[in-house]
Amino acid sequence: MQLEESGITLATIPSRTCRENIRFFLGRSLLLVIVTRGLIEMLIVVLIVGILAAVAAPVYFGYTKDAKMSEAKAIAGSIWSSMQGCAQAVPLTACAVSGSYTRAGLTVGGVTADGRWTSAIAGTTLTMNAANQMVASAPLMLEIDGTAADLTNLAIQFSWANATGLGSFQCSIAGPGGPYNPC
């Protein structure tokens, strides 16, 4: 194609056939469609991952809190088993919680080896007769408090009935002295 004015050629523009114009237009449109489709797919994936993260995070934190509480329950159970063993070995003799610490895997001061948990009540005693029945204990509770940075607001109370020796757990997520609920 030539641009002319008064018979003088000003510029020559190569002309395309209709087929070339269609290919050129479709090529650019197809590229735009591919890029746009890729961006949309990427946005959908990011959206789905965001929704999954929003739903999964609270569930995950609940599981980690439950695992930490289970750790404290295991420590209280170890102390309780050790106290029962002491009371059964020497019937009608008061066995102190503090005497059970080392048998339960705690230090003499009632702290776990890694320093994450502490037994808060050391004065508790347990007395059983030869038939493995509790005769007396005072107070009727063990408390395990979280002392590590990720456990500062967690506490477990383990209490038992004098007549049966059956125990129950109470958990607090507000720390020692906070409201305790069955767990």
Could you write out the DSSP letters of every residue in 30-62? HHHHHHHHHHHHHHHHHHHHHHHHHHHHHHHHH
pLDDT along the chain (183 residues), means of 10: 55 57 60 68 90 90 88 88 81 80 87 87 69 64 84 83 70 82 84
pLDDT at position 51 is 93
Residue 75 CA to residue 41 CA, distance in Å, equals 50
What's the one-letter identity of residue 59? V
pLDDT of residue 83: 80
pTM of the model: 0.66
Confidence at residue 48, expressed as pLDDT on a 0 to 100 scale: 94
Cis peptide before 176 (omega within 30 of 0): no
Contact in structure between 137 and 100 (CB atoms under 8 Å): no
Q: How far apart are the C-alpha atoms of 36 and 42, rounded to whole Å?
A: 10
pLDDT of residue 22: 58
CA atoms within 13 A of residue 161's CA, in its CB half-sphere:
4
User: Which residue from 116, 109, 110 is spatially nearest to 151, judged by alpha carbons?
Assistant: 116
